[in-house]
Structure 1
Amino acid sequence: MITSNATVTSAALEHLDRDWLRDYPAALLHGLASLVGQRGEALYVTGGAVRNWRAGRPSVDLDLTVTTDGLGWARDLAGRLGGALVPLDEGQGVARVVWQGIVIDFCRFRGPARSLAEDLGLRDFTINAMAVAFDPAGPGLLPPYAIIDPMGGGRDFADGLLRVTSPKVFFDDPLRLLRAFRFMAELGFALEGETEALLRSQADLITGPTGPAGARINGELARIMASGRASVTVRAMAEAGLLGHLFPELQAGAGVEQPPSHHLDVLAHNLQALTEMERLLAAPDAFFPGHGPSMTRYLAEQASGTLLKWAALFHDLGKPAVCAERSGRITFHQHERVGAAGFAVLARRFVWKKIEAERVGRLIALHMWPFHLNNVFQKDGVVTPRACLRLVKAVGDELPGLFMLAMADSLAGQGPGKPLAMEAALARLYDQVEETRRRFVEPVLTRPRLLDGHDLRQEFSLRPGPVFSVIFLGLQEAQVAGEVRSRQEAMAWVRDFLRGRQAQDF
């Protein structure tokens, strides 16, 4: 009979309340049981699943630990189930099986470990160094479902603490520096004192010669931003020094003073904007009355909320590079353009998806537009259809997100020189922009063009080129302003436009 080779200490006397594996498809359980019988080796459930089950929560995915040949176990299970095999690290015997939406990761004992207890001692944090044995006599966990816990992870889990299993944890894999904060974000845990001190002293490992690849870093960062604790977690990363190593461009804002409308330096302002964005995301209607449902729909599409958090954190990325003093005033001319370009470099470094990088970059590049438009709105009391069209054409479907970013930016700046009631003004401006867009802009953009490229070639003998775009945009502006309503009027408008261009050429 197969027996566990783990050393069960007094910390391991805790038991699960039931056999949580019974929640999984029978085919998976019978496949694992068959492999246990065939190979004659012990099988353990480890990591996040045990952590979740201990807390009374289900776990979709499984981390399984075997004595040797994790890749072979995964290959055999994938063959039995018809699942997809994904080798993750053949040298370390780590592989993944994906089957019916379930991810099953196999790993053999790590490094020099010769027992489960030794293997668990080589993991990152004590809360991940717990295991439950698979029952060799049948499909399921081994009764009475004892939690094998040689590192005291159960106690730390109950106390809400993240504690490293050894002082070598971050040296062995610097990505664990970031994983610590990911667990803080997802679980709401705090760093144990000695662990926090160790992390601070070794934060530079994240970008050192043995540091993880950009894609691995991005995976952890994405989970932090997708959590509901992104702001407090990113602040903790900044205090520990990790944020500055990851994003020196962002850290460059530390100590960079701002005009009297701000009360924080550039770095602190970016961090505060992220805090304000999380408030906005939780209750958009509180900041844009009457627009809550439409903004909620926008946020539900294509991970918009997470991308807005990134945009808030990096919206003033370009300020340190363009900071200047003119006539005794601090200025940041074109910081949004410089910031968008800097973010593009950063996104490539961390292997962002192209479409997501473009969305965040566009928001950064345009984040001052609502403030400039608000200046005109306060003076004239109206947003013209032409101005609304230009904004909509520039920002596309991100119009709600752009105004949410502007609102977060405004809320994050509370200096004595700030215009009064700026947030209320932005909300009124959004009301006006949305009304103008609905009444004048959308009807033009959703209807077929009055003229197309064929018309410009046939009727005016024009060759395709940049002038086509200029004409089409000019026609749209004339349409939303009510100056052009028919094909005939469009033809007349083009003739006038071309006569004006010809006169300018002379």
Structure 2
Amino acid sequence: MQKERTAYRQVLTDLLDPWPPEIGHALRRLDAEIGGIYLSGGTVRDRLLGRAAGDLDLTVARDAAGCCRALIGLLGGGAFVELGRSGEDVARVVWRGLTVDFAGFRGRAETIAEDLCRRDYTVNAMAVPFDSLGGGKEAELIDPLHGCDDLRQGILRACPGAYDDDPLRMLRGFRFMASLDFAFDAASLAEIGRCADLIARPAVERISYELGLIMDSPRACPTFRAMDGAGLLRHIAPELYAGVGVEQPEFHHLDVFHHSFAAFEQMEAIIAQPGRHYPQAAGRLDAYLAAGPSRRCLKWAALCHDIGKPAAQAVAFENGRITFHNHDEIGRRIFRLFAERLKWSKEERERTGQLIAMHMHPFHLCNVRRSEPLSKRAVLKLSQRAGADLDGLFLLAMADSLASRGEKKPPRMEAELVELFGQVLQIIAEDIRPVAVGPPLLTGDDLITELGLSPGPIFRTILQELEALRVEGRITAREEAIAWVTAFIADGAGDGAELP
């Protein structure tokens, strides 16, 4: 053990090496002026793990804001950022894209050791005095709660009173589980069970931020399972628990709640290797997943895709079968309320909700293909509604299918999805995209000037139908489009249009 601690101290001696020398020089001058600057928290933890630290975390006795302003002066530039809640002594400097955070001692701590004992987890409760770095000296590690030992064993152990001081630390612990692949010790898990209802106290923005970081990790599903086992998830996403014990038809082998987690697990595996499931679209799926919050939205959609089933559940009178009619749209509405409660961004809220609302569409088209050819019109409608998340929709369908292993499940379901996606992409490339990128045969202005129509809701109907007819090859010229619109109006199909 002593040998390992010595090795750790040798690693810490080079703690500032990844940072520009200007930062080190400025901090040495600041430490010489005020004394008592400590590198701490995630900076020390990540260095000991051999990981690149995202920020430089520094602790001082007091006046973090004053330290930030002094550092800006010594660097000759940088932006000052206020941090924390009211009364917290924390602040930030952003210099050339790098982040340096200062925090004063927590609570009534008078020493760095007391401050460290007031932190969230022992692996974050270590510090290195700035004046012990450099000069050929071996770095001093201050570790009052033996966080170094927990770090070596991959254990998340809560500091005394951590959850009572700030209940968000429970969720942060699961974020560390996801990002570090660590496990809680039994006492900390039991404490989370005792304090779980306190998670209602922190601001929802803080909760949403931690959930987002968990979803961004490659271990989101096992982490959410652990949150469920600890009793915390129920207080964050109670909507999921309406599905506990809700039985499903023979297509499935699990109730709604456990099927949702199975789909979540499958989605995480699919995201890791999308080309394994849709070989013909591997490149475009990689590009889709790399853009924006696509991965995060897909994982949430997988977990919540059947969130509307409990409310939609019914039993058919004629045969006694369980049905969930319209559960996709009901699910979108329930999810929207959940996302609004957590104050998600509009993009993530709408994209995830749309995936939930459309998750049955690929299965409906698979049913159609079993008895008749897939129509270009159906593909056009699907692509228009799914928009930029068409790829995500098929990834979600694959996760949903793989999570279902009931005896009545079609034996080739996954193969059918692969075939359907390939055909959809082919029709888009050969029939829909050439129409979409070319000039329209008629515009709204043409409907006014050429046909004498007054603007109204019917314009959208006419123009969308013209596009579908062009994709189908039934109309190819402007004159044919004018003739079709004239007949459409004359036949009364356009009743409700504002005619001159």
Provide TM-score, normalisation by structure 2.
0.94
RMSD: 1.9
Q: 2-side partners of 1:123 and 1:438: how far apart? A: 56
Given that residues 97 and 104 in structure 1 are in contact (C-alpha distance below 8 angstroms), is that contact kept between their aligned partners in structure 2? yes
Given that residues 317 and 342 in structure 1 are in contact (C-alpha distance below 8 angstroms), is that contact kept between their aligned partners in structure 2? yes
- Which residue type is aligned with residue 171 of structure 1? D
Which residue does 1:362 correspond to in 2?
354
The 5 Å alignment of 1:91-490 reads 91-135=87-131, 143-166=137-160, 168-207=161-200, 211-327=201-317, 328-380=320-372, 382-490=373-481
1:86 aligns with 2:81: yes
- Which residue type is aligned with residue 265 of structure 2? T
Which residue does 1:498 correspond to in 2?
489
Q: 2-side partners of 1:10 and 1:206: how far apart? A: 40
Given that residues 374 and 426 in structure 1 are in contact (C-alpha distance below 8 angstroms), is that contact kept between their aligned partners in structure 2? yes
SS of 2:244's partner is coil
Structure 2 CA distance for partners of 1:453 and 1:11, relative to 1, 3 Å: same
Aligned length: 490
SS of 1:291's partner is helix
Structure 2: where are the runs of 5+ without partners? none
Given that residues 489 and 495 in structure 2 are in contact (C-alpha distance below 8 angstroms), is that contact kept between their aligned partners in structure 1? no
Shift of 1:11: 11
Shift of 1:84: 1.5
Q: 2-side partners of 1:36 and 1:290: how far apart? A: 59
Given that residues 192 and 231 in structure 2 are in contact (C-alpha distance below 8 angstroms), is that contact kept between their aligned partners in structure 1? no
Q: 2-side partners of 1:75 and 1:250: how far apart? A: 47
Given that residues 284 and 295 in structure 1 are in contact (C-alpha distance below 8 angstroms), is that contact kept between their aligned partners in structure 2? yes
SS of 1:451's partner is coil
Shift of 1:140: 5.3
Q: 1-side partners of 2:329 and 2:136: how far apart? A: 60
Shift of 1:502: 5.7
Given that residues 16 and 54 in structure 1 are in contact (C-alpha distance below 8 angstroms), is that contact kept between their aligned partners in structure 2? no
Structure 2 CA distance for partners of 1:306 and 1:140, relative to 1, 3 Å: farther
Q: 1-side partners of 2:491 and 2:382: how far apart? A: 26
Which residue does 2:27 correspond to in 1?
32
Deviations 1:431-483 (A, max 9, x none): 11111111111111111211111101111222222111101110011000001
Structure 2 CA distance for partners of 1:398 and 1:476, relative to 1, 3 Å: same
Aligned counterpart for 2:40 among listed residues 42, 46, 49: 46
SS of 1:477's partner is helix
- Which residue type is aligned with residue 349 of structure 2? A
Which residue does 1:3 correspond to in 2?
none
Given that residues 280 and 287 in structure 1 are in contact (C-alpha distance below 8 angstroms), is that contact kept between their aligned partners in structure 2? yes
Shift of 1:78: 3.0
Structure 2 CA distance for partners of 1:104 and 1:290, relative to 1, 3 Å: same
Which stretch of the first structure deviates more once superposed, 55-64 or 197-206?
A: 55-64
- Which residue type is aligned with residue 482 of structure 2? M
Which stretch of the first structure deviates more once superposed, 283-292 or 480-489?
A: 283-292
SS of 1:63's partner is strand
Q: 1-side partners of 2:493 and 2:305: how far apart? A: 42
Q: 1-side partners of 2:190 and 2:484: how far apart? A: 70
Given that residues 11 and 150 in structure 1 are in contact (C-alpha distance below 8 angstroms), is that contact kept between their aligned partners in structure 2? no
Shift of 1:303: 2.5
Deviations 1:392-444 (A, max 9, x none): 11011111100010110111111112121111111111111111111111111
Q: 2-side partners of 1:502 and 1:15: how far apart? A: 81
Shift of 1:142: 8.6
Given that residues 19 and 141 in structure 1 are in contact (C-alpha distance below 8 angstroms), is that contact kept between their aligned partners in structure 2? no
Q: 2-side partners of 1:482 and 1:183: how far apart? A: 56
- Which residue type is aligned with residue 101 of structure 1? G
SS of 2:142's partner is coil
Given that residues 156 and 184 in structure 2 are in contact (C-alpha distance below 8 angstroms), is that contact kept between their aligned partners in structure 1? yes
Structure 1: where are the runs of 5+ without partners? 1-8
- Which residue type is aligned with residue 30 of structure 1? H
Shift of 1:31: 1.8
SS of 1:86's partner is strand
Which stretch of the first structure deviates more once superposed, 73-82 or 248-257?
A: 73-82
Shift of 1:276: 0.3
Structure 2 CA distance for partners of 1:415 and 1:502, relative to 1, 3 Å: closer
SS of 1:216's partner is helix
Shift of 1:289: 2.1
Q: 1-side partners of 2:344 and 2:216: how far apart? A: 15
Given that residues 250 and 408 in structure 2 are in contact (C-alpha distance below 8 angstroms), is that contact kept between their aligned partners in structure 1? yes
Which residue does 1:6 correspond to in 2?
none
Given that residues 331 and 357 in structure 2 are in contact (C-alpha distance below 8 angstroms), is that contact kept between their aligned partners in structure 1? yes
Q: 1-side partners of 2:350 and 2:70: how far apart? A: 42
Q: 2-side partners of 1:360 and 1:503: how far apart? A: 35
Q: 2-side partners of 1:16 and 1:279: how far apart? A: 38
- Which residue type is aligned with residue 363 of structure 1? L
Shift of 1:60: 3.1
Which residue does 1:4 correspond to in 2?
none
Q: 1-side partners of 2:494 and 2:196: how far apart? A: 64
Deviations 1:131-160 (A, max 9, x none): 111128xx8599311221111001001111
Q: 2-side partners of 1:225 and 1:456: how far apart? A: 48
SS of 1:42's partner is coil
